[in-house]
Structure 1
Amino acid sequence: MSIITRSIVNADREARYLNPGELQAIRGFFEEGRSRLRIAMMLSANERKIVDQGTQRFWERCPVTPSNSGNPRFRESCMRDQLWYVRLVTYSVIAGDTELIREVGTKGAKEMYNSLGVPIRNVAECMRCLKEVALDFLPLDDANEVAPYFDDLIQAFIP
């Protein structure tokens, strides 16, 4: 839940106006908005490169894995998932909140990957590779801003 939604929900639940601290937090959110949008645009513009390079890095670390089995259909679905996770990080950066990662992107994902025979530790390692490559596309300050979003994603897949 974004800081705006959280502040409004809390104030409404208590039947009150937003307090000065909440208003200041919302102001800060808007002031940082340009930075979040710039980062999101960089990630969006490079998502295919991030996934392609992240996949290659992952296969170097984990050469024996279902996504590298030679089955093109399985490979395509794995890369589609990776694109989804980069997009999810991008959405979360814009919102300034990791709730999307936990509530939308990873809820039930372990069970799904287990049912498909995909080792969960491999999914976590793949997300680590995506993070490393994505951060290489960003200036240091932006990379420091994005890293915690990928860390939440990785943490969701650590067995």
Structure 2
Amino acid sequence: MSIIIKSIVNADREARYLNAGELRAIQEFYENGVSRLNFAVTLTENEKTIVEKASLKFWERCPNTPSNSGNRMYRNSCLRDQSWYIRLITYALVVGDVEPLAEIGTIGVKEMYDSLEIPLPNLVEAIRCLKEVSLDLFTLEDAAEVAPYFDYLIQSLMP
């Protein structure tokens, strides 16, 4: 839930106006909005390259994985999932909150990958590779703004 919705819901629950702290937080959210949108655009425009480079990096680190077995279906599924996680990161950046990652990206995912016999440590390593390649697209300062979304995802998926 974005800071705006949270603030309004909390104020309404207490039948009060937004306080100065809440209003400052909302103002900061808007002031940083252009940066967050630019980060999302960068990831979106580079998604294919990010996934390709991250996959190569992942297969170097984890050569014995179903997605690197020569089975085209496994490989395509791995690439699709990596792209899906980049998309979820862009959603989180736009709203400035990890909620899309939690609601769309992590709830039930462990069970799904387990049922597909995909080792969770491999998935976590794949996300780490996505993070590394993605952050290379940003300045150090901007990467520090983007990294926590990847970190949240990594922590959520750890076995």
**Quick one: which amino acid aligns to residue 25 of structure 2?**
A
Structure-1 separation of matches of 2:116 and 2:107 = 16
Q: 5+ unaligned residues in a row in structure 2: which ranges?
A: none
| Map of 1:125 onto structure 2 | 125
Q: Please report the TM-score for the alignment, with normalisation by the length of structure 2.
A: 0.98
SS class of match (2:18)? coil
SS class of match (2:58)? helix
Following superposition, the deviation at residue 74 of structure 1 comes to: 1.5
Following superposition, the deviation at residue 140 of structure 1 comes to: 1.3
SS class of match (1:113)? helix
Structure-2 separation of matches of 1:44 and 1:82 = 13
Following superposition, the deviation at residue 138 of structure 1 comes to: 1.1
| Map of 1:99 onto structure 2 | 99
| Map of 2:62 onto structure 1 | 62
| Map of 2:15 onto structure 1 | 15
Structure-2 separation of matches of 1:126 and 1:40 = 20
SS class of match (1:137)? coil
Following superposition, the deviation at residue 18 of structure 1 comes to: 0.8
Structure-2 separation of matches of 1:145 and 1:79 = 25
Alignment of 1:133-144 (within 5 A): 133-144=133-144
* Residue 145 of structure 1 pairs with residue 148 of structure 2: no
SS class of match (2:30)? helix
Following superposition, the deviation at residue 100 of structure 1 comes to: 1.3
Following superposition, the deviation at residue 83 of structure 1 comes to: 0.5
Structure-1 separation of matches of 2:86 and 2:13 = 34
**Quick one: which amino acid aligns to residue 57 of structure 1?**
K
Structure-2 separation of matches of 1:15 and 1:127 = 42
Structure-1 separation of matches of 2:15 and 2:74 = 52
- RMSD value over aligned CA atoms? 0.7
1:89-140 per-position Cα deviation (integer Å, ceiling 9, x unaligned): 1110111111111121110001000000100000000000000000011111
Following superposition, the deviation at residue 142 of structure 1 comes to: 1.1
| Map of 2:110 onto structure 1 | 110
Structure-2 separation of matches of 1:9 and 1:65 = 45
Q: 5+ unaligned residues in a row in structure 1: which ranges?
A: none
Structure-2 separation of matches of 1:121 and 1:30 = 37
Structure-2 separation of matches of 1:67 and 1:142 = 31
Identity level (%): 61
Number of aligned pairs? 159
Following superposition, the deviation at residue 158 of structure 1 comes to: 1.1
